[in-house]
């Protein structure tokens, strides 16, 4: 395994000689360290782009798409179709259609409007990790329509994931690498990823607004509720393997080594929302971070408690719960099925009143936040001037070597080119 500076740099720049250079986790200190970036955690990254690619997860658009989509999601894990059919139940129930694509197209349209309003003249393309339109299609179109003589086409991938984790960061970057592989465009296209934005006010404020609305509704509907004892706010995060959480952050930062960045960031967002509740009601409403949508083989431990188990424990202890889908950007399948159907049913069984807070969706503040991510890159805005509400933010423009590891070896992924 190479242990040189050069081997690390290939993680972000065009890999030589193969696009899938394997860099061992934490094997070396790349240039993107605070030391190498003259005391600042930012490395010099491109500030010029030719196109934006709204980059998301994808979901099926009809019954015939469901199994092929799930095969994409579980690629390389050899899951038999019978087992996939079990997972497919939610999609089957919804006519085989996930709302995620429509929601992302609405977000794209809103982002285009906001770009125009700010006089940022960049075309927006839409591509997904797991379904049509795939990254290959979006990248190829963005390249064809925006070629510049003498240099690669520069694409800014605006990723629809707010937090640090393999599934929300590196997996996207690996899939960008796969797209460049498939298109044989390593020399002609440079893809750069957006930073994490979990504590950008435009992401957090819609959750605050929704939670305050839910508290107000509960108070209205049940005037005798004691907010300090009868109600609990549950921040629901998409569960991930415990190992992925442990590897989700920059290894030497904050309290990430103990907590895991993914979990720490969710707790921080929960804290911000509950501060707003306290400010309005002068009461410490009880709250907890819980997890949803655990999947995969049973022998791999995932983050817990599961929201349904937790709700069962609240029987007789609370009268109402407010569920905040803190990981998610829109009310897609994971929100509709896992929270509006399953968790709600569990809450009903315990006799708990249930409110589910809306996701940011196309909330104007959230749309503005997505465009802030573009603008701060175009302007090379220093970290200290970027919008971030907690000590954990703002996220890096260019991921460092150890961040967001999965279970396998680190594959080369795209990112900003190092100077």
Among 238, 266, 318, 356, interactor with ligand HT9 by CB under 6 A: 238
Is residue 240 a contact partner of residue 262, using CB atoms and an 8 Å limit? yes
Q: Helix or strand or coil: residue 92? A: helix
Asked if residue 166 belongs to a known ligand binding site, the reply is: no
Stretch of 191-199, 326-334, 372-380, 393-401 contacting ligand HT9, by CB under 6 A: 326-334
Q: How far is the CB of 329 from ligand HT9 (least distance, A)?
A: 7
Distance of CA 418 to the CA centre of its chain: 24
Which H helix or E strand runs over 127? Answer: strand 124-128
Is residue 64 a contact partner of residue 91, using CB atoms and an 8 Å limit? no
Identify which of residues 277 and 343 has a Cβ nearer to ligand HT9 in the complex. Answer: 343
Q: Helix or strand or coil: residue 154? A: strand
Among 28, 29, 67, 87, interactor with ligand HT9 by CB under 6 A: 87
Among 59, 206, 210, 270, interactor with ligand HT9 by CB under 6 A: 59
The reply on whether position 54 binds ligand HT9 by CB under 6 A is no
The reply on whether position 57 binds ligand HT9 by CB under 6 A is yes
The reply on whether position 240 binds ligand HT9 by CB under 6 A is yes
Q: Report phi then psi at 158, rounded to 5.
A: -90, 105
Which H helix or E strand runs over 290? Answer: strand 287-292
The reply on whether position 401 binds ligand HT9 by CB under 6 A is no
Identify which of residues 8 and 100 has a Cβ nearer to ligand HT9 in the complex. Answer: 100
Identify which of residues 165 and 268 has a Cβ nearer to ligand HT9 in the complex. Answer: 165
Q: Helix or strand or coil: residue 120? A: coil
* DSSP H helices in 235-327: 242-246, 256-259, 261-281, 307-313
Going by the DSSP 8-state scheme, the letter that residue 214 receives in this structure is H
The reply on whether position 161 binds ligand HT9 by CB under 6 A is yes
Identify which of residues 263 and 355 has a Cβ nearer to ligand HT9 in the complex. Answer: 263
Is residue 291 a contact partner of residue 305, using CB atoms and an 8 Å limit? yes
Q: Report phi then psi at 23, rounded to 5.
A: -110, 125
The reply on whether position 98 binds ligand HT9 by CB under 6 A is yes
Among 55, 140, 168, 346, interactor with ligand HT9 by CB under 6 A: 168
Identify which of residues 42 and 302 has a Cβ nearer to ligand HT9 in the complex. Answer: 302
Among 195, 266, 332, 355, interactor with ligand HT9 by CB under 6 A: 332
Is residue 123 a contact partner of residue 146, using CB atoms and an 8 Å limit? yes
Among 55, 327, 346, 359, interactor with ligand HT9 by CB under 6 A: 327
The reply on whether position 296 binds ligand HT9 by CB under 6 A is yes
The DSSP bridge pattern shows strands 410-411 and 22-23 to be antiparallel
Among 31, 66, 73, 158, interactor with ligand HT9 by CB under 6 A: 73
What percent of the residues of the chain are helix, what percent strand, and what percent coil, each to the nearest 5? 40, 15, 45
The reply on whether position 42 binds ligand HT9 by CB under 6 A is no
Which 365-394 residues touch ligand HT9, going by CB under 6 A?
A: none
The reply on whether position 74 binds ligand HT9 by CB under 6 A is yes
Site string for ligand HT9, 99-118 (x = CB under 6 A): -x------------------
Cα separation, 234 vs 286, whole angstroms: 9
Asked if residue 57 belongs to a known ligand binding site, the reply is: yes
Among 124, 277, 333, 369, interactor with ligand HT9 by CB under 6 A: 333
Cα separations in angstroms, 374 against 118, 192, 196, 366: 11, 11, 12, 13
Give the residue carrying structure tokens 């305050």: 212
Asked if residue 334 belongs to a known ligand binding site, the reply is: yes
Q: Please, is 379 exposed, middle or buried when counting C-beta atoms within 10 Å of its C-beta (0-12, 13-18, 19+)?
A: exposed
Going by the DSSP 8-state scheme, the letter that residue 148 receives in this structure is B
Q: Report phi then psi at 97, rounded to 5.
A: -110, 125
Identify which of residues 10 and 56 has a Cβ nearer to ligand HT9 in the complex. Answer: 56
**Positions in the binding site for ligand HT9 (CB under 6 A):** 57, 59, 70, 73-74, 87, 98, 100, 160-161, 165, 167-168, 238, 240, 295-296, 327, 332-334
Residues that constitute the known binding site: 57, 98, 172, 238, 334
Residues that constitute the known binding site for Fe(2+): 238, 334
């Amino acid at each position: 395994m190479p242990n040189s500076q050069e081997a690390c740099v290939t993680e972000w720049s065009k890999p030589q000689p193969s696009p899938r250079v394997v860099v061992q986790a934490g094997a070396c200190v790349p240039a993107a360290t605070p030391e190498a970036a003259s005391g600042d955690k930012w490395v010099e990254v491109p500030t010029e782009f030719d196109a934006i690619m709204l980059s998301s997860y994808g979901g099926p658009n009809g019954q015939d798409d469901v199994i092929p989509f799930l095969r994409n999601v579980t690629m390389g894990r050899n899951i038999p179709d019978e087992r996939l059919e079990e997972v497919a139940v939610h999609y089957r129930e919804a006519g085989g259609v996930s709302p995620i694509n429509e929601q992302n197209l609405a977000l794209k349209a809103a982002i285009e409007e906001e770009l125009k309003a700010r006089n940022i003249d960049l075309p927006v393309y839409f591509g997904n990790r797991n379904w049509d339109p795939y990254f290959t299609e979006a990248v190829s179109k963005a390249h064809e329509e925006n070629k510049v003589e003498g240099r690669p086409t520069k694409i800014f991938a605006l990723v629809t994931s707010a937090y640090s984790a393999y599934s929300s960061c590196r997996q996207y970057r690996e899939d960008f690498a796969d797209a460049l592989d498939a298109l044989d465009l390593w020399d002609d296209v440079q893809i750069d990823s957006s930073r994490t934005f979990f504590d950008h006010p435009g992401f957090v404020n819609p959750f605050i607004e929704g939670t305050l609305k839910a508290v107000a509704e509960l108070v209205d509907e049940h005037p005798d509720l004691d907010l300090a004892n009868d109600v609990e706010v549950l921040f629901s995060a998409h569960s991930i393997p415990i190992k992925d959480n442990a590897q989700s952050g920059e290894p030497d930062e904050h309290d990430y080594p103990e907590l895991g960045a993914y979990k720490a960031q969710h707790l921080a967002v929960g804290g911000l929302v509950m501060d707003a509740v306290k400010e309005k009601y002068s009461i410490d409403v009880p709250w907890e971070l819980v997890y949803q949508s655990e999947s995969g083989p049973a022998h791999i431990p995932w983050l817990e408690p599961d929201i349904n188990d937790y709700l069962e424990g609240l029987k007789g202890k609370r009268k109402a719960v407010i569920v905040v889908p803190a990981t998610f950007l829109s009310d897609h399948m994971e929100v509709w099925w896992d929270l509006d159907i399953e968790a709600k049913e569990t809450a009903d069984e315990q006799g708990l009143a249930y409110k589910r807070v809306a996701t940011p969706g196309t909330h104007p503040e959230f749309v503005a936040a997505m465009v802030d991510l573009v603008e701060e890159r175009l302007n090379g805005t220093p970290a200290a001037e970027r919008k971030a509400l907690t000590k954990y933010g703002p996220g890096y423009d260019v991921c460092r070597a150890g961040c967001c590891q999965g279970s396998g070896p680190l594959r080369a992924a795209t990112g900003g080119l190092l100077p």
